[in-house]
A and B are shown apart, each in its own frame.
Chain A
């Protein structure tokens, strides 16, 4: 039997820190306090409002497999990860068969079986349910129980990466008996069920106050002996990131705080109080500049920001390259991100096997070369106002992003760096709920992109970037025809790219898939559709009295809470 790596790691950490003996009684360490400054609004991740809900519910609900900090899969409710080699994945790549652990019970004492897994898929795939994990179930044609502990998932097409459904805490298994009457249009009405799902995880919901506080108690029927170490969890929400950091690092009221996007000097100042530590983990998140290839001029009316009107200068890859070269990314990292950021030149910086090295020219600022590129492209400052122009068009851009103090700092820094090469910048920041919302009537959404350049962070689920790299094909361009509902913000359109994406979907060999993904990444950089800035990590803080934290950026970052213990 293969011992789970998670288990081994925890055991190693335990031995190293002389922590609780593995035979210690379940729940011996009392209460642990966790602070998420965005409060969870539901415990049903299929109907969730975001990361906060998925992560808090990961204490209760479990998927078949999780991702560890390195981005590798670990079986959770499954016995092992099905692969081609062990016969779990069919030769034609159209089905995957999961073997479930024996003897697992729900917290109400009933056995966990394949029927629950089948039901969870039905629940999410119901067309009226409004389930947000449907992308994970893409191309699934059937989910069937072979026997009580075997589930077969069949896909309509060959799936080189069949680990979408039930891998990761955003698509866990829910109990059939509990949710049977909550399927489809009934889903949102089942408040009791959505607030208190019965799970197989280490904890159970005792009291749920939406958008405020959740109290959990340990699950007495949890399958691992002597775990969890804590008998209860207080999961509090509210406030802002700086205040959350303060409550762990300075006042010590809480044991763990999540998502601390705060200026680095504030964090290190707080850390110096000696009550806790700041930790970071890197996934695929990249803060990037999206370059609008279409003309956002309001004078164009309804045809504004559509492919009918190419952008007057950002379509020129040389101009974009100059803009990229003029940015000193080290400073952006130092000023706004600290340990939570790394300089990157790729929109696909992780997992490591997928990271290209062809764009590393952008890592060092080169103002002279940037200027030379602009000169070469015919942009000169003829009227001496410090801004370059060509054929009566000024090299002047509107640069938008969501409201957030670190983003505004980055904007200011970049504005000044661009001023040095003769590019004028007007900054605009938009409330996040509007910017990331898809409201048809608002001109300020990131899909409509009525600006020249916009900045935000994106990433992808799991460790396979196929769907992510497919975002920048021609048919994904947002336009009035598709109600701006599409994912190719830069409106990048390149037949060669589209062809490569099509090839990606039918390639199975891992090394080849990695090569294609790198090539796609390089094409986006060379054609100046995206200017990556910072590879962003997740930052959290935990108190010195909390041990066993093993943060991951690929899954719920508190995925191993059953191994957390009190340092005495």
Chain B
């Protein structure tokens, strides 16, 4: 397993390089333009000047090379400098990856937005997983009970109502009519004591609720289906026959064997925590990574979108590897070597 991990990690490097190239080519090919959000009365010639000032006049491979240098050399050097407080080489003139729309380093933008993304999207996943696993297990164990039927009904309704609608619905109910929670997330709020923590919870409830509904729905269905598959297997009968407690049978044997699809879904979900939630973030004005990405796409901000997408790709490759390793731990029969 160790050798497999090392091999996969080494293989990840060329994979990621290829992915970065394909993403760059795709973004370059996509229509969209950094001047599209300028006031429309700015004449075409001025727009052309601005494009040239952004470096769009250079050929494709030069721009790709530049990005590679900025991302793989300059940014890590900058991080080292900041951590150790030293100066390496000519740091004054070393260009970092600069966003076109804000003219500021992309990495700083991402760091600035991590807190709200982790608070809201991360918390939604935690809540979603914490609800989905037990509900899925109980629903399968008591298949067609009232609990199962109600769970199925609620989760499927939850999944079929898109967040662009449920978000507005909860705002109309809880912010406008009841006035319990704010409809706008305050990103400048800092948690310092108990009261500010309560305020943070208060402003997180609506977006977390909308997001967690989707996550719960999906995970519950996979958990339930997988448990059902395993509950009828022969080894379950054997375990029961040799007098194991029902709890041990379900939680030790069945659950462990049912985790593979669930692990896959969760492993795919971790990178998307980083990716943020585009629609929900927009509705509650959380302005996390998701909003950064969609804003970048709309503004034709190529360096920003490229960098974000690439970091996303690294996380995907990494967490899919983690999932593969977890498969081997959950089911020792799975061998990769």
Contacts and interface: CB of A to CB of B under 8 A. Distances in A.
Direct contact of A and B (CB under 8 A): yes
Interface of A: 35, 38-39, 41-42, 44, 47-51, 127-130, 132, 134-135, 170, 185, 187-191, 194-195, 207, 209-213, 215, 234, 236-240, 243, 246-247, 250-251, 253-254, 273, 432-439, 441-442, 444-445, 447, 456-461, 467-468, 478, 483, 485-487
B62 interface: no
19 contacts: A41-B102, A49-B37, A132-B42, A188-B54, A189-B95, A189-B98, A191-B108, A213-B188, A215-B188, A234-B188, A239-B184, A247-B183, A251-B175, A437-B31, A438-B33, A457-B40, A458-B41, A460-B41, A483-B48
A245 B40 CA distance: 24
Interface in B102-161: 102-105, 108-109, 112-113
- Which 7 residue pairs are nearest across A and B when measured between Cβ atoms? A130-B53, A437-B33, A442-B31, A437-B36, A238-B285, A188-B103, A210-B102
B237 interface: no
B32 A209 contact: no
A62 B269 CA distance: 47
Contact of A135 (B46, B52, B179, B183): B46
A189 B98 CA distance: 8
B43 interface: yes
Most chain B beta carbons < 10 A, residue from A41, A134, A194, A441: A41
Interface of B: 29, 31-54, 95, 98-99, 101-105, 108-109, 112-113, 168, 171, 175-176, 179, 182-184, 187-188, 281-287, 291-292, 295, 297-300
Which of A47, A48, A132, A238 has the most C-beta atoms of chain B within 10 angstroms of its own C-beta?
A238
A201 to B, nearest CB: 21
Contacts of B40: 436, 456-459
Give the interface SS of chain A, mostly helix, strand, loop or mixed.
loop
A191 B36 contact: no
B46 A433 contact: no
Given A49-B101, A128-B53, A130-B54, A461 B283 contact: no
B39 A213 contact: no
A422 to B, nearest CB: 33
B43 A487 contact: yes
A44 B52 CA distance: 19
B291 A238 contact: yes
B104 A236 contact: no
Given A191-B104, A251-B175, A441 B29 contact: yes
A471 B287 CA distance: 38
A368 B281 CA distance: 51
B11 to A, nearest CB: 34
Contacts of A432: 36, 298
A135 B287 contact: no
A210 B32 contact: no
Contacts of A35: 184
Contacts of A47: 103
A253 B179 CA distance: 10
B37 A50 contact: yes
Contacts of A185: 53
A132 to B, nearest CB: 6
A59 B51 CA distance: 28
A195 B109 CA distance: 12
Nearest to B179: A251
B318 to A, nearest CB: 27
Contact of A254 (B184, B287, B300): B184
A437 B226 CA distance: 48
A484 to B, nearest CB: 8
Given A239-B282, A433-B32, A433-B299, A39 B37 contact: no
A212 B102 contact: no
B113 A485 contact: no
Nearest to A190: B103
Contacts of B38: 48-50, 132
Contacts of B50: 130, 132
Given A195-B104, A207-B188, A238-B282, A436 B36 contact: yes
A443 B54 CA distance: 23
Given A211-B291, A434-B32, A247 B47 contact: no
Q: Which of A50, A194, A237, A432 has the most CB of B within 10 A?
A: A50
A238 to B, nearest CB: 4
B33 A439 contact: yes
A245 B188 CA distance: 21
B44 A485 contact: yes
B37 to A, nearest CB: 5
Contacts of A483: 48
Given A237-B287, A250-B176, A461-B41, A129 B53 contact: yes
Contacts of A132: 38, 42, 46, 50
Most buried by A among B113, B179, B295: B295
A24 B108 CA distance: 41
Contacts of B112: 209-210, 212
Given A432-B36, A433-B300, A437-B33, A194 B188 contact: no
B36 A433 contact: yes
A180 to B, nearest CB: 16
Contact of A243 (B43, B183, B187): B183
A191 B103 contact: yes
A355 to B, nearest CB: 18
Contacts of B95: 189
Contact of A212 (B36, B51, B287): B287
A280 B289 CA distance: 34
B49 A130 contact: yes
Contacts of B41: 458-461, 468
Given A436-B36, A437-B35, 17 more contacts: A42-B101, A42-B102, A44-B103, A48-B38, A134-B49, A187-B53, A211-B287, A238-B285, A238-B291, A253-B183, A432-B36, A432-B298, A433-B297, A438-B51, A441-B31, A478-B44, A485-B44
A361 B298 CA distance: 40
A247 B168 CA distance: 12
Nearest to A482: B44
Given A188-B98, A234-B188, A436-B36, A135 B103 contact: no
A138 B45 CA distance: 12
Contacts of A194: 103-104
Contacts of B29: 441
Given A213-B188, A438-B47, A51 B39 contact: yes
Contacts of B176: 246, 250-251, 273
B184 A247 contact: yes
Nearest to A51: B39
A441 B300 CA distance: 14
B182 to A, nearest CB: 6
Contacts of B34: 437
A485 B300 contact: no
Contacts of B54: 130, 188
B28 to A, nearest CB: 9
Residue of B39, B54, B109, B112 with most partner-chain A CB within 10 A = B39
A210 B46 contact: no
A239 B281 CA distance: 8
A392 B155 CA distance: 57
Contacts of A51: 39
